[in-house]
């Protein structure tokens, strides 16, 4: 996944030992200490959040049997891929960026291969999660996936990611060139292959354009379907009639913003690298933008557990059960209310609780569901829709 050294000429009929590398390129060997410090500090928050966030999701699903739903299994699979990306790709890229020569040796052959596998597995999991929520809400009476089927889909995700990334294990190689004053060592794909740029265009489509399109379509259909469900559930005059629509719109906005923000810079530098005229050398700004692109790309693995874990009601409950020691410190004992003041403001407080209290909302949904069951209506289960939107 690293390109900025790969523009070195692959010419075999020139005796480079008679030419100085320093005549055309500056020999800097390693970046200054201050630059190393700044870049490490930029990666530390991402590594910290990615490690603990994804690890917490995995622990909750493994420890709590009630959390092992199909959707949560897909989220856990994405957490595994993101955790591997944060732990593996971040340090390997920093080592690559700090040195002028490639210093990881034979690791060159599998570095890009493993990175692309993890990134594709996370992207494929994101697509499956969006489709699973779409089917669960828009087609509530269709047969849901079993855990066995979910595990088969997870296996297919990793097999597909390995198949898509396998060309990198073949095309990438470690190269050396001896100059009169310098031994040049770099790791890259064979840049003279015409199909290389089309391969990276396919990878970008799978990493960026396909998940973005699927999420937009899936949550767009869900938003359009909510109006019909509100009519079926008699929510036109209910205080909670717009809550689900607002929740889905907010979820869609966060998902799309995260996907666009984390992947836009990376796909720009990759497209520029492979589709620029072959006679052009990479400009000086490319290396700086390339660092920012990788930082944002790896940050996606740290943001996903926040979006799909911390923002999920079911996962928040799981966090409280598994990591109860962190929540007990923040518990506050409520003080008894003033009876006189409570009696004077009772009508206002009751009206407010009807709009905001989750228990009141759940009781209203249960009453609607019971009413529909008595009337024999065949429509979506409101409690089921509520749980799906909160996952």
Percent pLDDT > 90 in the chain is: 45
Q: Would you state the pLDDT for residue 375?
A: 44
Confidence of residue 232 (pLDDT cuts 50, 70, 90): low
Q: What is the 3-state secondary structure (H, E, C) of 260-299?
A: HHHHHHHHHHHHHHHHCCCCCCCCCHHHHHHHHHHHHHHH
pLDDT digits (tens, 9 = 90+) for 318-333: 999 998 887 765 554 4
φ, ψ for residue 186, nearest 5 deg = -145, 160
Pairwise pLDDT comparison (163 vs 256), residue with the higher score: 163
Q: Would you state the pLDDT for residue 13?
A: 63
Q: Which of 13-17, 119-123, 215-219, 362-366 has the lowest mean pLDDT?
A: 362-366
Confidence of residue 44 (pLDDT cuts 50, 70, 90): very high
Q: Characterize 335-364 residue by residue with b for buried, 16 or more Cβ atoms within 10 angstroms of its Cβ, and e for exposed.
A: eeeeeeeeeeeeeeeeeeeeeeeeeebeeb
Place of tokens 């001896």: 178
| Residues 6 or more apart whose Cβ sits within 8 Å of residue 2 | 93, 96, 112, 187, 188, 290
Q: Characterize 11-26 residue by residue with b for buried, 16 or more Cβ atoms within 10 angstroms of its Cβ, and e for exposed.
A: eeeeeeeeeebeeeee
68: which DSSP letter? -
The DSSP string of 14-65 is S-GGGS-GGGTS---SB--HHHHHHHHHHHHHHHHHHHHHHHHHHHHHHH-G
Taken in order of first residue, the domains within the chain and their CATH numbers are 16-324+357-390 (1.20.1070.10)
SS3 content of the chain, % helix, strand, coil (to 5): 70, 5, 25
φ, ψ for residue 296, nearest 5 deg = -65, -40
3-class state of residue 350 by DSSP = helix
Sign of CA dihedral 16, 17, 18, 23: positive
Is the pLDDT score of 349 beyond 80? no
Confidence of residue 310 (pLDDT cuts 50, 70, 90): confident
Is the pLDDT score of 354 beyond 50? no
pLDDT digits (tens, 9 = 90+) for 273-308: 888 887 777 888 898 999 999 999 999 999 999 988
End-to-end CA distance of the chain: 34
Is the pLDDT score of 240 beyond 70? no
| 206, 123 Cβ separation under 8 angstroms | yes
Q: Would you state the pLDDT for residue 367?
A: 55
Mean pLDDT of the chain: 80
Q: What angle do CA 68, 73, 75 make, to 5 degrees?
A: 125
Q: Would you state the pLDDT for residue 128?
A: 95
Q: Would you state the pLDDT for residue 328?
A: 65
| 138, 225 Cβ separation under 8 angstroms | yes
Is the pLDDT score of 377 beyond 50? no
> Average pLDDT of 348-361?
45
pLDDT digits (tens, 9 = 90+) for 114-135: 999 999 999 999 999 999 888 8
pLDDT digits (tens, 9 = 90+) for 145-191: 899 999 999 999 999 999 999 999 999 999 999 999 999 999 988 76
Place of tokens 């403001």: 345
| 226, 244 Cβ separation under 8 angstroms | yes
φ, ψ for residue 30, nearest 5 deg = -140, 145
Confidence of residue 17 (pLDDT cuts 50, 70, 90): confident
Q: Would you state the pLDDT for residue 45?
A: 94
The pair of three-digit structure tokens given for residue 153, joined into one six-digit string: 């889909």
Is the pLDDT score of 238 beyond 60? no
């Amino acid at each position: 996944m690293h390109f900025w050294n790969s523009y070195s000429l692959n010419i075999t009929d020139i005796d480079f030992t008679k030419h100085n590398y320093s005549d055309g390129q500056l020999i800097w060997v390693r970046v200054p200490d201050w630059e190393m410090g700044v870049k490490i500090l930029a990666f530390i928050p991402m590594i910290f959040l990615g490690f603990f966030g994804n690890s917490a999701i995995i622990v909750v699903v493994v420890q709590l049997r009630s959390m092992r739903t199909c959707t949560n299994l897909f989220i856990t699979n994405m957490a595994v891929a993101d955790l591997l990306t944060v732990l593996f790709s971040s340090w390997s890229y920093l080592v690559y960026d700090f040195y002028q020569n490639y210093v990881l040796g034979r690791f060159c052959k599998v570095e890009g291969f493993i990175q692309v596998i993890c990134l594709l597995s996370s992207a494929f999991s994101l697509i499956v999660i969006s489709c699973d929520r779409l089917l669960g809400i828009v087609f509530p009476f269709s047969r849901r996936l079993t855990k066995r089927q979910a595990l088969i889909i997870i296996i297919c995700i990793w097999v597909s990611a390995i198949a898509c990334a396998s060309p990198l294990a073949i095309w990438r190689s470690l190269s050396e060139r001896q100059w009169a004053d310098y031994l040049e060592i770099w790791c890259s794909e064979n840049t003279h292959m015409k199909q290389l740029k089309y391969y990276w265009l396919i990878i970008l489509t799978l990493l960026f354009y396909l998940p973005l399109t699927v999420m937009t379509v899936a949550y767009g259909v869900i938003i359009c379907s909510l109006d019909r469900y509100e009519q079926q559930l008699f929510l036109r005059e209910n205080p909670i009639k717009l809550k689900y629509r607002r929740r889905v719109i907010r979820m869609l906005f966060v998902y799309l913003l995260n996907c666009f923000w984390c992947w836009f810079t990376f796909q720009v530098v990759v497209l520029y690298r492979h589709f620029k005229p072959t006679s052009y050398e990479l400009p000086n700004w490319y290396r700086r933008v390339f660092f920012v692109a990788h930082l944002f790309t790896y940050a996606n693995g740290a943001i996903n557990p926040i979006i799909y874990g911390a923002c999920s009601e079911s996962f928040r409950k799981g966090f409280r059960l598994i990591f109860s020691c962190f929540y007990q410190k923040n518990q506050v004992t409520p003080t008894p209310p003033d009876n006189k003041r409570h009696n004077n403001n009772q009508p206002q407080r009751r009206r407010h609780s009807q709009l905001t209290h989750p228990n009141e909302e759940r009781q209203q949904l249960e009453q609607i569901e019971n009413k529909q069951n008595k009337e024999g209506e065949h429509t979506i289960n409101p409690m089921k829709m509520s749980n799906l939107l909160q996952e």
